[in-house]
Every structure is written in structure tokens, then in C-alpha cells.
Amino acid sequence: MTLRDFSVHIIALTTLSLLICYVVCYDYRLDLFNFGSLSIVIYLIFNTSIFLYAQRVSSRESNYTFNGVVSASFLIKLLFSLGLLAYWQRFHNPTDNHHIALYILIYIVYTIYEVYFLTLLAKKTSF
């Protein structure tokens, strides 16, 4: 996968995610568009960083380095997800748990794309 392909896909995915966030928030009268938008921007930055680093590492001879990047990305994303949800819960005091459902929806969309581009990059490396 080239940087151009990644850019086209991530822009389309971000547009789709913002549309989903808008529909969910305004159709169900939820005041979570800021939280959803923040989550989308964070995953946009995270996936772009992981792609650029994994692309550089995939051209090296060591497959263990690429596997380490994949493992570290999932661990960092998991810890960050828990931290973001805890932050929102503590400082914004939501009256319900709808923000968790919205976050999980955004998390799933970006995680599926992350698995997709990491799989394409893994095929480029020789195992």
C-alpha cells in the first residue's frame, strides 16, 4: 500500500466516520458530537503515525521489528482508549453511557482499517 492509497482511504474513512457521528448524535439527540469528533481526530493521527512507521519498518529485513510495531500499536491503542474514556467520564460527567457506544463504533471502524493496512504491509515483508 502506498502513501497515496492510504491517504485516499483514510480521508474517505474519516468522512464516513464524521457522517456516522453526526447521524448518531443528531438523530438520537445526543450531545456527543465533540467527543466523537475528538475520537476521530485522535484515531486519524494514530493510524497515520502507525502506517508511516510500519511502512518504514516493513522494508527492513527483520520481521520481528514489524511484529513488534503491530503488537505495540494495539497495546497503545487499548491503553489510550481506556484513558480517553476515563477522562471523559471524570471531567464531563455524562448522564448516561451513550458516549461509550459511540466510541466503540468509531474504534471498530478505525481498527478494521488498521488491520487492513497492516495486513497489506505484512504481505510486503517476507516471512
34-92 pLDDT, tens digit each: 888 889 999 999 999 999 999 888 877 677 888 888 899 989 999 999 999 999 888 88
Q: Give 97-102's long-range contacts (Cβ < 8 A, gap of 24+).
A: 98/28, 98/30, 98/32, 99/32, 99/35, 102/21, 102/24, 102/25, 102/30, 102/32, 102/35, 102/36, 102/39
Nearest by Cα to 42 from 98, 111, 125: 111
Structural domain count of the chain:
1
pLDDT at 102 over 60: yes
Residue 78 sits in which domain range?
3-124
Q: Which of 11-15, 18-22, 56-60, 93-97 has the highest average model confidence (pLDDT)? A: 11-15
pTM: predicted TM-score of the whole model, two decimal places: 0.86
What pLDDT, on the 0 to 100 scale, is given for residue 113? 94
User: Quick check: 23 pLDDT over 90?
Assistant: no
Exposed, middle or buried: residue 122 (CB in 10 Å: 0-12, 13-18, 19+)?
A: middle
Share of the chain above pLDDT 70, in %: 96
User: What is the predicted pLDDT for the residue at 126?
Assistant: 58
